[in-house]
Structure formats: C-alpha cells, structure tokens
Chains A and B, each alone.
Chain A
Amino acid sequence: MSTPQSGGNRSSAVSAAKKAAAAAKSTAGANTAAGRTAASKATAKAAAKGGPRRPVTPVKVGQGRNWGPIALFVAVGVIAAMIIGYGAYYVYQGSQSWEDKASSISGLINYRKTRPDLMKSGQHQQGTVTYDMNPPAVGPHNPSWQRCLGDVYAAPIATEHAVHSLEHGAVWITYRPDLSKDQVDKLAAKVRGNDFMLMSPFDGLDKPISLQAWGYQLKVDNANDGRIDEFVRDLRQNATAEPGVACSSGDYVTATGTTPRDMSQAQPPAGTGG
C-alpha cells in the first residue's frame, strides 16, 4: 500500500523541480549558477517534503546543440515519411475500384455516363437491332449470346449476339477487315484461350481497332497499344451486367454472317433427346 503513495510523492517532487528549473532558466537566462542553485534547492525541498528519493544531478544549460540525436531523429523522420508515403499510395492504389482504374485509360469512351438509358440489362429482342454507335458497346440485343470462350471469329458476326456477350462480361475486339495479318495475330493472341474474350472483323470502323465492354469502348490504331491490355485487365468480367453468367454455349456460328439468329425458329440440334 505504501508503494503507490511514495510514487505519487515522487512525481510531485519531480514536477516541482521541473518548474523551478524552468523558472530559473527564464529569469536568470544564461546565469547557470542561479539556475543550478534554484533547481537544487527546489529538488531538495521537494525531496524533503515527499520523502526519500534519488539525488538529482543539477541542470546544465547553454551547451552547444547536440547534433547527433537531431540528425538521427531527422533521418528516422525522413525514412518514416517515405514509408508512410509509399504505404499510403499502396493503400490508395489497392482501394481503387475497377471503374477508377478504367477511367484513367486515355481515350476511353464511357457510355455508362453518356448513355445511361442503354444500361438497362436484359433488353432482348429478335431480328436486326439498329444501334447508333459503331460498333455498339451497349444496348438491346438478341436473346442468344455469341460464344465468348476466347473465340477468334475469322468472319464478321452478328452484332446483336456480340452485344449480349458484352452484357455477360466479355471484351469484344473488333478490327478493320484490311488490318495486316501480323496485327490480327497479335490481337488473336490476347483472345485465344481466354474466356470472356471474343474477336471478329468489323466493316466500317473509323479506327483500325475498336474494343468493347458493356458500356465502354476504346479505339486504337495499333495492336501494340498498351491500352489494349489495360482495357482487358480492368474491364473483362468486371464490366458485366450479369455477374456469374457464362460465356460458354451461345451462338458460335459465323457462317451465317451478320444476320442474328432466331433460336425459337431454329431446329433443335441433332441428337437432342427432347
């Protein structure tokens, strides 16, 4: 029981000594002798009042700055600031949504902002659909989607099926039919073997290459453009209007060209057991 009490006395003695030292410093300025006297007096007085305590060495003021610890503190401070800065950047980067990342792609067309009326998913209609963008990146579409399991279609496909694939989260790469073979091969290498990707030539493009995701579009001149990979990385599957739906099955026939197929009119595939 006596230990906490003596501790309390000690701290009051310490603060008294501190006050005295500070007062001596402010009034006597550089007069170290006075400061020392006042401090030791106060200490002795406080110690006498508060019971036995360790003797305290008197204050010395007016010495030269102690650069060692200052340099150490500055160094630690700078390193800490760098760590904090890097960490904060890392946290900021990690917290960025895919929308934020995509919006930093220069030249990205965001129909979600400009055409919110088209964003409603599940607008299915048979037959030809007229779109006011070229190629369309969002809007009503055929009930059957184009298979997008990394399919590279050599001939133009029906836009009405492809837009449905975009709704499922696919990225559709289109290119001018006159694009050079090595450029086409480079694009195909990004598509082949990757689900939620499809590619086809497209007539009447205003740029050699155009990429579509649901509500997004990017037009580039060259297959080496680094923004192509950025577009795929940020938007493939992320931009889906129907998370969890697949790219498998669907329409994968290109022989019929750009006319959408009406599945309700089509014959069931041979061998379907009812």
Chain B
Amino acid sequence: MIASFQALLFSDRAADRVVPPTGHTAWLTTFTAAAMTFLAVFALALSLASGRLAARWSEALANTATIRISAPADQMQQQTDAVLAVLSGTPGIASSRALTNDEQKALLAPWFGPDLPVEALPLPRLIEVTETGEGYDSEGLRQRLLAEAPGAVLDDHTRWRRPLATAAARLNLLGGLSIVLIGATMAAMITLAANAALAANAQVIRVLRLVGAQDDYIAAAFVRRFTLRAVAGSAIGAALGLVGVFLLPPVDEAGGFLTGLGFQGTGWLLPLLLPPIAGAVALIATRAAAFRKLREVQ
C-alpha cells in the first residue's frame, strides 16, 4: 500500500510506460468517477440540507405551543384575556402573547393573498406560548383552559413535530446511505475497468515478471494510472455538481420541501473532499484487482 502511495506521489515515467495505453477502460474510469461524484455532490447536499431541516424543525417546534381560541366576536377578547391570565400563572410557561391581526394576516397570505380582510372574517385568535426548559403539564393546562375559556384549544405541536423531525432524520440518513452506495458503485466500476485492463495486459504482466519486476512495481503502474484518472474524473464531477447546486432556485423562490437544499458556509468546501476520496477508492480497488491478477502469474 505504501508503495502505491509513493508511486502516486513520485511519478516514474519509465514505470508508467511499461503499461500500454489502456484505451476505453481508462475513459470508463474517468467517466464513472465524474458521474458518481456528480451524484455524490447532490446526495451530500440533500444529506446536509435534511440535517439542517431536521434540526430547524425540531428546534422551532420543540419549545413552543399554540392556543387557538374560537369564540363569538363579542367574547373573543374576554376569552383571550382569560387564557393569557391562565398562562401567566402556569408553571413551565416562559412567555405567551396573542398574535396581532397583521401577523395572522401574514400567516394566511400564502393561501389567500396579501389583501385578506382579517377583521371581517370569523378567524380564531392564536396565542403563541413559549415553554421554559422544564416544560409544562399539558393535560393540567387543558383542564384549566376548559374551565376558564371553553373556546380555547391547546396545540403542543407534538403531532407535527415528531413526523417532521423523523422524516428529516430519515432523509439525512438516506443522503448518507446514498453517498456510501455511490462510493461502493464507483469502487465496483473501477474494479471492473481495472480487471479488464489487467486481463488485456496479461502478456505485459508475464513479461514484466519474467524480467524480474516485483509485484509492487507492476501493481503501481496500473494503480497510478487508474487512481489519477479517478481523481481527475471526480474533480470534474465535483465541479459540475457544485455548479448544479449553485444554480438551484434560491430559498425564497423554491420554498416548501426544497427550502435550504444546497450548501451553506463552509459546507461548500465539503464536495472538495470527494476527489481525494474517489482517488483512495480507486487506489484500493485497483491495487486489490492488480494483486489478485498477479497471483495468477508465478
């Protein structure tokens, strides 16, 4: 293995020349590495974005609750005051406030447009509740609200938060799994290409053994060729993938599920790790294939 790394770092032109041009297998390696890295960039973006999404959804919903008050217009303010009074005396509640008409209007704008006459519609009043770290007794609070404000319904976000966080975590896992599968596929393809090249050069290997070449020398000549092609192909794939992610619609336009798909900050540097990883995959795969083939020749 050390000899293979040394062969990569210190080019030996004479050693490189003993292996004839490997033609289509070399191009297959370059293309495979480029295509797989291109896909890996998107898998990485998906994985990172879903990770951020899971964290954001969990954080945003974890310590908050909403109380919805549905009451006749003449009782709305009275019940709102009653709920706020209950909340202020409830252990585990850090703060609470009723959303203003403008805030409710903004929440409904995506569905009804910006000119919605909130005042004219029998909309429920929403109260935003923020918990302390210890949390509150949701069942006890429901009982008290039922007594003080019959139109109030507590929504502690649990039924939203759990599936969303689970879905985002699964997406994160799938992204990581995709990267592993892409790496394995690339290793398999490069192994096939290396095996084809080694089989086509069985005569070369026999001659080299006959004149006293050691296995490391012969393997290094193949390993170097395939590893450098894999690194070059992977660099091309990473560059194209980064351009593709960069050209994705911005957050405010895409919205919804695609919100935040891409890289942020130093995350943009992560795809640059893919070419060296592809090189390592190619080195290990080609070296293993080369030594398997060499064992067939005494």
Q: Are A and B associated in one complex?
A: no
Q: Hey, which bits of chain A sit against chain B, CB under 8 A?
A: none
